Structure 1
Amino acid sequence: MTRIAHDVHSGADTIIILKNPLAGSKVWKDLDADDHVEKPVLESDSNTDQPSIAEPSSEEVVPEASEETVDQQPVAEESSEEEEGEEQEVHYHVSSILLKTASPKFASMLSGEIWKEGIRNEEDGCYYILVEKWDAEAFLILLNVLHLRNRQVPRSVSLSMLTKIAVLADYFTCTEAIELSTEIWVKDLKDTTPIPSNYCQNLILWMCITWVLRLPQEFTQATGIAIRQRTLAGLPTLDLPIIGFVDKLATARVQAIDAIISQLHDLLDKYSDANYSCSCDFYSFECSSILYGALTKGMNQLGLLLPYPVAPFSGTSYQDLHERPFKIKSPNLSHPSKEKYKAPHFCSLKVQVRGVINRVRRSVNGLDLEDFGRTLSADVSITNEKVSARASI
């Protein structure tokens, strides 16, 4: 067995033993390969029985592979047999006082009431905490921050490394304690590996970071891109602690796509109404009949008519769908005239369709951390309530 030791605190009274570090995990090996490459997310969708609303065309479809199971435990994947080798242990010599001050999770573990880790070893008087399948470097960085070893803390980290640190901070509930460092790292990453404009693995990592670290603007930006560009139901979590918002993100995607389809059908119903009235009442029947026919034909060609597309709209993204209606041809209408020229008729299918798309576009935004009670102001409010409650005792 290979054993590595890090003296994080000179007066250590606690030893954290990390077994089977995450360094060999395929999950992170793929992500660490190149943080600057916006790799597509490989996944599959179980809703294969749902009819697709893909436009009949020669569009390329990017294949996607199976989604990892959701687990809020450490980001990890069981190593394959071929990756099995000599066991490793990493020992971190740390301070229980600093751990308990920074982390409610560590405070609970070291309390001795519930966790066996809270009982000192009789031989050396130290606490021993056993953990496994975390990333050794990320854990060291986190512990250095918690122990105020600023000179040992890097001024910049990769996107995948910050994700690992965020996952650790989420698990040990110590995001506030590392806030100054994460602000520096996030600022640097915005320049070197910014939030991508397309749906890819890096976008999922950014969603995790902004969710855990509670970055409202960045979270809205990242989730907005996922809502607009995601083609399948659900969201692959990559075993990251993002299950708290994935259902709402999936719902927002479905609502955005459904809004386009339903409003186009509403427009169709408007033209089919016997009481339809256009700008020139005398020609209402002719106008509505022509526009109804053109819209029916256009929607049918785009696969938006029959069968009526239903959720979860597998294989289609909002981004793709909201561009399709612009392909619907708008007939040129004019009034009969005794003159050599024809007077134009101002009812335009193109204008009506563009109005539908613009209305939906304005309503499609990313998620808001406030809706989940994860803003920093919410934390302050909760803290104040606790202080008030203690004062009244």
Structure 2
Amino acid sequence: MGTQYYVLDPDGDVIITLRNFNAPFAIPPFGEELISSPPESEPEPSVECPQDAEEEAVVERMTPVEEVPLTVVEPPVPEEPVEYLEPPAPEVPVEYFEPAVQLRVSSAHLRLGSPYFKKALDGPFKESHLATDGLRHVDAEDWDAEAFLIVMRIIHGQNHGVPRSLDLEMLAKVAAIVDYYQCQEMLEPFAEIWNLRREKRSLPPNIKAKDRLVHWVYQSQNPSFATAIDIGRRQFIGQLADMFDGLLERFYKEPPECNFECASMKLGALMRELRHKKELHFHTRADESFQNYSAASVIEAAYSIQSPSCDHGYYTRNSCSLRNLIESESPIIGYTHEAAYDSGHLRVGSIHEVYYEQYGKTDGLPVIFLHGGPGGNTNPGCAKFFNPAVYRVVLMDQRGVGKSRPRNELRENTTQHLSDDIERVREHLGIGKWHMVFGGSWGSTLGLFYAQAHADKVGSLVLRGVFTIRKSELQIGGIPAAALFFPQQWEQFLAYLPETERADPMNAYYARITSEDREVSSAAAREWNRWDMFVGTLKPDIESLANLDDPEWNLTHALFESHYLFQHAAWLEDGELLFPANMEKIKDIPGAIVQGRYDMVCPPVTAWDVHKAWPKSSLHWIDDAGHATSEPGTAAKLIEDVKLAFY
């Protein structure tokens, strides 16, 4: 299908191009793409609608993205016939041709109806400049085409073309668009017509903030559509104000819950950030209506708060950073699950028993979470990416790690063994086919390996921080690529070893990590992990470094990482996972890749190489992230991609 064209104003001076239209219920996320209006400091941003997906419609059978039929928008026959516009010649060639919807609209109407469009069209952005065809061009993506057309018709006063009744899902799609483009007032006349009071629903608790806004649209007792959205905005911002009050009170306590120095630094930093970030001035509650504050802008500001740290020379560490506290106490991260409804150990060979847990919906879409490392493990927080009302979430500790038995056992422990274990767990749990295989870092390696071996058992793949164990990914010029960016830390990593062993540090460390002298092995493991964790995030993750104080985790992680990667290259040929014959095996599996732009552990070029060789993959760059799942932009995009979920 080609491009669909609609003319809302024959003399219109703006062309809006909507790409990836009819994505499953697009709602803006809170992460890296969340911008309530074009930032004043950036020269030429495009007006793009970030993706999000409603997890409401669940089908029994997996439908590949490519096969989802595209809906041609056919609004009710208006009094005046819709004209069709000849497609303008594109100014910039796109890398891949894709269907799109184009609307010819009036900039005057956009300015009057939406502060978002007014700033984009009047500011120093590309949308304000005329293209070679004499028109302004605005990009949008992922919105439902019918919902987007409804909103555009209302903005242009074409009420005859607006449906007089909408089902619940369409109401939610319209609500998301209205909130994003800040055009609540234009929707006011349709409040009574659509009568939101008739249809109410509930959504899972602790879901993302923007989903809550849509939720409040339906929960509100006020019949006004625009007012209902505004109530949701005020309630959410009020919750964030309560959160900041609670944090200030925590740091005021005497005696402090951590120590005097830590509490004093956090108190001062938080007070300073609240004062100097104008987007956070709402916390004073000078205006209880929180006028001029959008949910989008306050979320972005909250996540940009800087946290002080104690400098101990090699790494920074403080177990109660502001970022960690904000993430744990604000209502904008992931899903909350009840305790696992099932768990157990499964015998998978003559030596090993792997531990598994199940969360969420017992008859939901089955997904398996593959942890990283090698040498990592799962925990209940790994389920946060999956809606418990939709998914049956299986967490599995790989051989020798976590709660699997026996711990630190390297015999009968290879990549092939781990792949076989995924199959055994699937069969044991009576799962015919995984709806999704989800893995990050080493988990992405294992996920690709398993999918290539059992493509008929994989409905979709979501991969983060992609890693294929190529030599070029492990070292550049004989040293890890990260050493080029963290030379001081790399030298300190080497300094632990005698000078005579520094030419081959990986083997020297492995000899110490596998030493029978526990004091020697623990000390070496600690230094190994300190380097590994320091380079894992764009900014030092001072919370994760607390793992260095866990002797069991410390040894397991270093042992398996050094054994699997640097001693055996995961028992794979160099580049094996990217061999054309192997990538051909997953060509029909839809998937998403989420990659931190500044990943120092798994070079971003690998994600690009996998994406190019995998026709049904989408690649999402997180421009403010390194390697870790915990980085807000990465976590947000993973949750978003899981919600798209190809169902």
Structure number with the bigger relative contact order (C-alpha 8 A, sep ≥ 6) is 1
Common fold, TM-score beyond 0.5? no
Which structure has more helix as a fraction of its residues? 1
Instruction: Give the TM-score normalised by structure 1.
Output: 0.41
Query: Larger C-alpha radius of gyration, 1 or 2?
Result: 1
